[in-house]
Structure formats: structure tokens, C-alpha cells
Amino acid sequence: MTADAGLVLGWLVLAHLVADFVLQPGPMARAKAAPGTGATPALLAHALVVGICVVPFGLAFGAPGWWVVAIVTLSHAVIDRLKAVLTRRAEATALAEARRRHEAAGSAPDGLGPAWTPVPGALFAVDQLAHVAILVAAWAALLSVAPLDPAFADWAAGWLGARDPAVVHEVLFRGLVLASLLIVNVRAGALFVGVLVSPRLATEGRPLADRPTASNTPATAVAPAAQPRLGWTFQVGPIEGRAVPDAAAPAPTVVSPLHPAPAPPGRVGEAIGIIERLLIVTFVLAGAEAAIGLVIAAKTLARFKQLDDRDFAEYYLLGTLASVAIASISAFAAAAALGSLG
């Protein structure tokens, strides 16, 4: 018995999304992005979660499935670690460049903030594309034509009973596509927009863990007045993309020449973005793409007065375009997958 190829691929993609965006709590994501060996426990814990999510493929396909479990688990850990290292370097480089530009210009620049960089957002997207590419490659090479393990095939036949296998497969496939769409547009989409709009700033170009704290700084030490520390840290994904007070850095006594990116919207703004993406997905699947303009218009109308602020307008446009792109691309991909069922 050969498993339905599309159904197996759908299960693989859903397993990845569940491991990355449902079963990965914020503390694990933050610890996983820590510098040096401090990230190892969290990275191994996340890899274990990924492995558990794909273990069913080993049970279903035997040796080919276990190879997929090993490949997906190990590659996931390597890709995640590489993304964390590159993201920290991009953050430090962006802040150093912002300071250099400010010193050269003699005044704070306008626009998207001197320390803003698209690299963390791009790395977030590349990270997910790399994971999916490996899933597809492993599926194509090992599972697309592999027979089911005899014991699993007997269990599946008993579970199906008198049901039509084709109908069951179609129902399951549609459910997998819709569940994947939900995770992408609720959790992954919110994280990507947060990462893109407000990348984390590492104070003075150093990783957060390297900054002196109250426990390792002498009581008599006084920071030079000419180099005040930033009082805010922007933490990014896959974790909540919002500004939080940085307790490790003392409040600056003067206004810093660096103007960090405006804080992304709170929970209400995040909920608006989620509803926006779900509405776009619904319109695309229903064939009413023209209605997408109404969603964007309503959102813009509510923020109309704030658009006079150039910084806000730029961030609003960036976040909105990213949100619409995620919803549209995922919805059209899902429509194509569902249309392949005939």
C-alpha cells in the first residue's frame, strides 16, 4: 500500500508549523537565540520537539520515515542556530552603522529610524523557506513513493473500515491545508511582521547577555555622560515583537541621539493584524479578491490622522504590506493545493 503523496506532504508541513509556532514557547525561543553555548539546552529542547512531531512518519514508513525524522530534526537545529547568529550580527551592524551615520550627519535622521534593518525579517523568512525546502526534498526523495510499514498499513485499513479511502484522504487533506493556513496567518504572520517592523537593538552593538548588570557592575562605577545607554530593547522572533523595558540598562539621563523604531502595536493591534489576514484568506478562497481593498481601506481610515507622522506612516505601510503579502501568498498557495484535488 502506497500512501497518498500529497497527504503525506501536508502532514509534514503541518508538523513543522506546529513545532515552530505552537509548541515553541517564548522563553525557549529567547534562550535559543542566546550567544555562545548558553543557547544549547534550548536549541536541543526545540530540536526534540521537532523530532517528536515527525516521529509518526517513522512509525508509518519504517526505515525511510526514520531517515526523514533524523534529517528534519538535525537540519532544523542547524538552520535555527545559523539564523540566530546571523540575526545578532545584523543587529549589531545596524546599530553601529546608525551611530556612525548620526555622528557624520550631526543630527538624528528622519524616516524608519537609524537602527532599523530588514535583515532580521529576511532571515526569518529564509529560515522558514529553508525548513520547508528540506521537508519537500526529504518527502520527494524518501516518502513520495515509499510503501507504508505493513503493521501501520494494517492499522490504517482497520481504522478506515468500510469508508472510502479517497474520500477520507480528501477530507484529511483539506483539514491539513486549513490548519496550516490558520497557524501561518495567526502565529507566524504576527511574528514575521513584528520582526520586520521592529528588529531587536543590541545596546552599543553588543549582545544583550554581554551587557553589565547590577550584579556585576561595581557600585562606584558611573557610565560616562557622553555615552548613555538605551533604555529599551526590541526583542524579536520567533517571540513576541513588542517593546519591553530593559531592566539591565539604567535609564538615560539625556535624550539618546539614536531614535529606535516606534514600538509595534500592542495586543489590540496584533489582533487587528490577525483578523486582517484571516479576512484576506477568506476572500481569496471564496474568489472575492476585490474585497481585500475594503479591509485595507478600513484599517487605513482608522489610522488616518496618525499618518501625518512620517515615522508612523512608514512603519504602518511596512507592516500592512507585509501582513497582506503573507495572507495573500498563503491563501493563493492553499487555493492551488485545494484545486489540485479536482
231-241 pLDDT, tens per residue? 334 343 444 43
Non-local (6+) Cβ contacts of 213 within 8 A are 248
Residue 220 · residue 153 · CB < 8 Å: no
Mean pLDDT of the chain: 79
The DSSP code for 60 is H
Radius of gyration of the chain (CA): 23
CA dihedral (325, 328, 333, 337) in degrees, to 10, reads 160
| pLDDT exceeds cutoff 90 at 333 | yes
CA 267 to chain centre: 17
Q: Which of 295, 297, 318, 315 shows the shortest CA–CA distance to 306?
A: 315
Least confident of 100-109, 185-194, 202-211, 281-290: 202-211
Polymer length of the chain: 342
pLDDT at 251: 41
CA 126 to chain centre: 10
Non-local (6+) Cβ contacts of 56 within 8 A are 11, 15
| pLDDT exceeds cutoff 90 at 189 | yes
| pLDDT exceeds cutoff 60 at 5 | yes
d(CA 27, CA 300): 34
Q: What sign does the dihedral 85-132-272-332 (CA atoms) show? A: positive
Residue, of 273 and 96, whose pLDDT is higher: 273
Least confident of 131-135, 230-234, 288-292: 230-234
Question: 177-198 burial, b for 16+ CB within 10 Å, e for fewer?
Answer: beebbebbbbbbbbbbbbbbbb
Non-local (6+) Cβ contacts of 50 within 8 A are 16, 19, 20, 72, 73, 76, 77
Q: What sign does the dihedral 192-40-216-214 (CA atoms) show? A: positive
Cell of 73: 530534526
Phi/psi of residue 2, each to 5°?
-105, 130
| pLDDT exceeds cutoff 80 at 113 | no
pLDDT at 225: 42
Per-residue pLDDT reduced to its tens digit, 25-69: 888 988 888 888 888 999 999 999 999 999 999 999 999 999 999
Averaged pLDDT for residues 219-232: 40
d(CA 277, CA 190): 10
pLDDT band at 95 (very low <50, low <70, confident <90, very high): confident
Averaged pLDDT for residues 71-80: 96
Neighbours of 335 (CB within 10 A): 17
Number of H helices, E strands in the chain: 11, 2
d(CA 126, CA 121): 9
The helix (run of H) or strand (run of E) holding residue 233 is: strand 232-234
DSSP assignment of 78-136: HHHHHHHHHHHHHHHHHHHHHHHHHHHHSS---SS-TT--SHHHHHHHHHHHHHHHHHH
Q: Which of 236, 165, 234, 162 shows the shortest CA–CA distance to 203?
A: 234
pLDDT at 266: 66
pLDDT at 241: 39
What is Dmax (Cα atoms) for the chain? 80
pTM of the predicted model, to two decimals?
0.77
d(CA 259, CA 110): 9
Determine what percent of the chain is predicted with pLDDT higher than 70.
Answer: 75
d(CA 186, CA 180): 10
Residue, of 199 and 300, whose pLDDT is higher: 300
At residue 170, what is the residue type?
E
pLDDT band at 335 (very low <50, low <70, confident <90, very high): very high
Domain ranges (residues) in the chain? 5-202+265-339
